[in-house]
Chain A
Amino acid sequence: MEFKTHISVQNLSVFYGSEEVLKDISIEIPDKKIIMIIGPSGCGKTTLLKSFNRLIDMRDGVRVSGRVMVDGENIFDSKIEVTHIRKKMGLLSQNPCPLPMSIYDNVAYGPRIHGLKDKKRLDRIVEHYLREASLWDEVKDRLGEPASRVSIGQQQRLCLARGLAVEPEIILADEPTSALDPKSSRRIEKSFLGLKDKYTTIIVTHILRQARRLADYVVFLYCGELIEHGPAEEFFENPKEELTKEYTKGVIS
């Protein structure tokens, strides 16, 4: 299988203080696929994900070496405008995190801060992305209500719509179903599958079965090191590394 790419990770190492959390990672992330980053807890999955939109900047004592190229630009370059990088990526966090405002304003938040004021266009954007996150029918009559009033599964889909509304190329999701009940999880998974032709979707998970269900491409991290990565079928059917075999069989976790 041949992949095109616009995210390319080159010798990325990340340190929190003196602790090396990611050790010399290099991967080409394939376009318009679902890429799943798997591995045990505390192995740098989230750090890798948050390196892509530089949210790790927020942490204290972070040091980064190596490069992450997005559309040919190294995002750790000091000349890069960080808001410009982040606009290219929508983020779904572990716990759904709607902003303290109405359902409508949550989706409109991104377009508004990027300068859109026209009410009619905002209306269209809000409807379009709520539909894309398959939430429209459930909330169309109460767009003015606080986002905190909808169920937690709906909140996660709202966050998805909010992320999509800035027209990103990439969706980043950090264990997006871990706080959800099985039904809501399924709906989110369905949304991802529906969106994968339009967006490059990178999902962190520690649920192997979820990776089997969704992944086109798998990245396996173990204790900060990149053990193996490749197309999902190959990865699960025919792993090359001993550690991968043990992990996928459940010998280690």
Chain B
Amino acid sequence: MDKRRVEEGLFKGLMILSTVLILSVLGLMLGTVVLKGLPAMNIAMITQAPKGGYYLGKEGGILNAIIGSLYLAGGASFLSILISVPVVLYLNVFGEKQTRLISFTRFSLDVLWGVPSIVYGAFGFTILITLGLRASLLGGIITVGLLIMPIMSRGMDEVVRMVPRELLEASYALGATKLETALKVVVRQALPGILTAVLIAFGRGIGDAASVIFTTGFSDYVPRSLFRPAATLPLAIFFQLGTPFPEVQDRAYASAFVLTVIILLISIICRVLTHRFTRHVMR
């Protein structure tokens, strides 16, 4: 057999192997969470906050962490949208001629994207001290908001960049200002991609543990105030898995299952919404 066909065959084998490996990692991960988590699931898990002795295997649930995580990731996503949308519109509509500033900004966002989340945690902690706050839901929202901002911005940037120049020109030619063009045409055209970017950032935010250890703390109560510590699912998983009791460890898997389901649900809702908003998008 000639050499080129051997090469072709070898590489094909490698590609298949890699693909199978990735798919099986996903399958095994979901399998572990479901198989170990589901038996430990009960209605109390998602309807009750921990009662005394929960971490020793007694009654209660992780409602505190579910609500805490939703508040945290929701607040952080909202904060991040407030920063990301203007940045992205500047990069693509307003700053058109500032090519150097634009590429520097994109580069900075990429760098921020790569900063480990524990560093954000430490940074957020410093901010809290400076502001005179302590570990709290608000502190977590600020920190996680900063953590997911580069992810959201770059995600939006990639789709807004794809909006055809001609579409902007068409709007300008009618006498529209840049702001009108940005909000009424560009955002509308890129809306499906913008929503996807928000979703990805939300997913990253709800699942991050390192950034919230110092900034959000933990609490056994369902959060009622922005200025009090709040529980989050990743930390709930961490604490339960760290106990020496097998039944509590199983609850960690149940919590992981809950987290996975939340992310899945959000994805599905977002897909449905996106589908609605794509009605008018020009192809």
Please report A residues at the B interface, Cβ cutoff 8 Å: 53, 55, 58, 60, 83-84, 86-87, 89-91, 93-95, 97-102, 109-110, 113-114, 146-148, 159, 162-163, 166, 172
Contacts and interface: CB of A to CB of B under 8 A. Distances in A.
Contacts of B170: 91, 93, 97-99, 159, 162
A99 B173 contact: no
A172 B169 CA distance: 13
Given A113-B174, A114-B175, A60 B280 contact: no
Q: Majority SS of interface residues in chain B?
A: helix
Interface stretch (B123-131, B154-162, B182-190, B264-272): B182-190
A148 B279 CA distance: 9
Nearest to A61: B97
Given A97-B164, A146-B280, A89 B185 contact: no
Q: Majority SS of interface residues in chain A?
A: mixed
A116 B180 CA distance: 15
7 closest A-B pairs by beta carbon, nearest first, are A91-B173, A87-B175, A110-B174, A83-B175, A100-B189, A97-B170, A146-B280
A100 to B, nearest CB: 4
Nearest to A110: B174
B176 interface: yes
Contacts of B99: 60
B234 to A, nearest CB: 38
Contacts of A109: 171, 174, 176, 184
Interface of B: 96-97, 99, 164-177, 180, 184-185, 188-189, 279-283
A116 B170 CA distance: 19
A97 B166 contact: yes
A101 B175 CA distance: 18
B129 to A, nearest CB: 45
Among B165, B169, B170, B184, the one with the most A-chain Cβ atoms within 10 Å of its Cβ is B170
B173 A86 contact: yes
B38 to A, nearest CB: 44
Contacts of A86: 172-175
B280 A93 contact: no
A163 B166 CA distance: 14
Given A97-B164, A113-B176, 10 more contacts: A55-B172, A55-B173, A86-B175, A94-B166, A97-B166, A97-B170, A99-B170, A109-B184, A146-B279, A147-B280
Contacts of B165: 58
Nearest to B174: A110
A84 B173 CA distance: 10
Contacts of A162: 170, 174
Contacts of A83: 175-177
A189 to B, nearest CB: 21
Contacts of A110: 174-176
Contacts of B97: 60
Contacts of A102: 280
B18 to A, nearest CB: 38
Nearest to B177: A83
A172 B165 CA distance: 17
A24 B79 CA distance: 52
Given A99-B185, A148-B281, A148-B282, A163 B171 contact: no
18 contacts: A55-B172, A83-B176, A86-B173, A86-B174, A89-B173, A90-B174, A91-B170, A93-B166, A97-B167, A97-B169, A99-B188, A100-B188, A100-B280, A113-B174, A113-B175, A146-B280, A159-B170, A172-B173
A218 to B, nearest CB: 24
A172 B174 CA distance: 12
A133 to B, nearest CB: 15
A99 B187 CA distance: 11
Contacts of B189: 100
A87 B173 CA distance: 7
A201 to B, nearest CB: 15
Contacts of A58: 96, 165, 168-169, 172
B282 A147 contact: yes
Among A53, A99, A159, A162, the one with the most B-chain Cβ atoms within 10 Å of its Cβ is A99
A84 B176 CA distance: 9
Nearest to A165: B174
Nearest to B190: A100
Contact of A53 (B168, B173, B282, B283): B173
Given A93-B170, A99-B185, A159-B170, A166 B280 contact: no
B12 to A, nearest CB: 40
Contacts of B96: 58, 60
Contacts of A93: 166, 169-170
